[in-house]
Amino acid sequence: MTAPITPSFWSPALEGLEPYVPGEQPKTTEKLIKLNTNESPYPPSPRARAVLQEAGLAEKLRLYPDPESTELRKTIAAEFGLTADQVFVGNGSDEVLAHAFYSFFQRPEPLLYPDITYSFYPVYCQFYGIEPRTLPLREDFSITVEDYAIEGAGGVILPNPNAPTGRYLPLAEIEQLLKMHPERVVVIDEAYIDFGGDSAVKLIADYPNLLVIHTLSKSHALAGLRLGYAMGQAHLIEGLNRAKNSFNSYPIDGIAQRVATVAIADRSWLADNCGKVIATRERTCEELSKLGFEIVPSRANFIFAKPPKISAEALFQALRERNIIVRYFNKPRISEYLRISIGTDEEMDALIGACREVL
C-alpha cells in the first residue's frame, strides 16, 4: 500500500524519479525455488561464517567502524596484485556504481552503454542528471565495440558478462574501448566475472581511465552482507573517496568488514563454489536446449533463454504457479526471454521438469 502522494513536501527532482525495481524477495522462501535474483544457491565460505562466532564481534558495534575499511582494502589489494590505494569499498556494488556515476559521468556529454543492460544504469543517470546514449546490441545480444567510437562521449559503462544476457566480451575488446576514450572513464562492472570470464583488473596498470567493479553478492554468496568494491589507479579511487566522504563516512559496518576480509581471502572456496555453479549451468543449458529453448551463451550464474511454443510471460506465470520464480522483463527486445538464476542441481531438475510439463 502506498501512502497518498503529498507532492508539496517533495523536492521537484523527486517527483520525476523512476526508481530501480529489484527482483521479488518473497517474505518466506519455504517450498519456493528462487531463481530470480542471481544469488548463490550455496552458503558462503565456512571461514567467513565462522567470523560471526568470534568473541567480541558484537561489542565492536559500540564504536564506529574503521571509516576506511583498511584491512579489507589491503586484503582485496593483495588478492589482485594491487595496492590499497587502488581499492575502494562500498555498501554493495550498487553504492560503488552510484559514486562512480557521480564522480566521473556528470558531464555535458552523454554516457555510453548498451541498450540491453543492467537496469540500474538509467536510474543513476536520471538521479545525477546524466544524459545516456544507448547503443544497440546485435541480434544475438553481442556488443559491437566499434559503435562506441563516438567523439565527445562522457564515459562508458558496461557489465562484463552483460546482464541480463550473460554474454561475455573478450578483454581485447575492452582494451579497444579504453583506447577509444583515453580522456574518459570506462567502468567495467564485473558482477559475474568469477563464473568464467577473464577480469579486466590486469589492465589497470596500463589504463588510467579503467575502473573495475566487483561484488560479493553473487560468486561469494554474500548478497545479504552488502559489499562491493572498485579497483583502478589511485587518482580514480581518490575521486570515489571524495564522493563517499561527502555522503556517508561509514558505509561498511564492522561486522561486514570482518566477514568480507575473510571471505575474499578464501580463494579455494570461491573456486569450488563457482565450479559447482558452472557445471550446473552447462547441464541446465543442455537440458533446456533439448526442450527447444534458445539459449544465449552464458558466462554468468544465470541463463537467458527463450522458450519454444509459449510466450516467456506465460511460462513465467506457469512456473510461478509451481512455486518456481524466475525473472521476466517486460521490455522491448527481451520480452520473449526469461532470466533463470542457477540453483542447486535438484532445483534445476525441478525447473527442467516443470518446463517439460508446461510445454
Question: Which one of 217, 219, 301, 341 is in contact with ligand PLP (CB under 6 A)?
Answer: 217
Binding mask 145-184 for ligand PLP (x = CB under 6 A): --------------x---x---------------------
Question: Which one of 94, 199, 304, 316 is in contact with ligand PLP (CB under 6 A)?
Answer: 94
Shortest distance (Å) from residue 315 CB to ligand PLP: 22
Q: Which stretch binds ligand PLP (CB under 6 A): 92-100, 136-144, 286-294, 334-342?
A: 92-100
> Cβ(80)–Cβ(231) under 8 Å?
yes
Shortest distance (Å) from residue 301 CB to ligand PLP: 10
> Residue 298 interacts with ligand PLP (CB under 6 A)?
no
Q: Which stretch binds ligand PLP (CB under 6 A): 53-61, 69-77, 87-95, 259-267?
A: 87-95
Shortest distance (Å) from residue 32 CB to ligand PLP: 20
> Residue 189 interacts with ligand PLP (CB under 6 A)?
yes
Question: Which one of 93, 219, 257, 341 is in contact with ligand PLP (CB under 6 A)?
Answer: 93
Q: Are strands 324-325 and 132-135 parallel, antiparallel or unpaired?
A: unpaired
Q: Are strands 294-296 and 302-306 parallel, antiparallel or unpaired?
A: antiparallel
Indicate the residue among 201 and 355 with the shorter CB distance to ligand PLP. 201
Shortest distance (Å) from residue 24 CB to ligand PLP: 15
Shortest distance (Å) from residue 82 CB to ligand PLP: 19
Shortest distance (Å) from residue 218 CB to ligand PLP: 6
Shortest distance (Å) from residue 113 CB to ligand PLP: 11
d(CA 40, CA 273): 9
Question: Which one of 223, 252, 256, 312 is in contact with ligand PLP (CB under 6 A)?
Answer: 223
CA angle 249, 253, 254 (to 5 degrees): 120
Residue found under cell 543492460: 117
* Burial group, residue 224, by CB count within 10 angstroms (0-12, 13-18, 19+): exposed
Which amino acid, one-letter code, is at 332? Answer: P
Binding mask 5-24 for ligand PLP (x = CB under 6 A): --------------------
- Residue 6 CA to its chain's centroid (Å): 34
> Residue 39 interacts with ligand PLP (CB under 6 A)?
no
Q: Which stretch binds ligand PLP (CB under 6 A): 91-99, 137-145, 291-299, 312-320?
A: 91-99
Backbone phi and psi for residue 188, each to the nearest 5 degrees, phi listed first: -110, 115
Question: Which one of 228, 232, 239, 254 is in contact with ligand PLP (CB under 6 A)?
Answer: 228
Q: What is the DSSP string of 20-67?
A: --PPP--S--TT-EE-SS---SSPPPHHHHHHTT-TTTTGGGGSPP-T
Question: Which one of 41, 44, 65, 92 is in contact with ligand PLP (CB under 6 A)?
Answer: 92
For 112, which DSSP code?
E
Q: Are strands 132-135 and 186-189 parallel, antiparallel or unpaired?
A: unpaired
Helix (H) or strand (E) holding 354: helix 345-358
Q: What is the DSSP string of 318-349?
A: HHHHTTEE-EE--STTTTT-EEEE---HHHHH
Question: Which one of 45, 209, 215, 233 is in contact with ligand PLP (CB under 6 A)?
Answer: 215
- The C-alpha torsion from 293 through 278 and 36 to 115, rounded to 10°, is -70
List of residues contacting ligand PLP (CB under 6 A): 92-94, 118, 159, 163, 189, 191, 215, 217, 223, 228
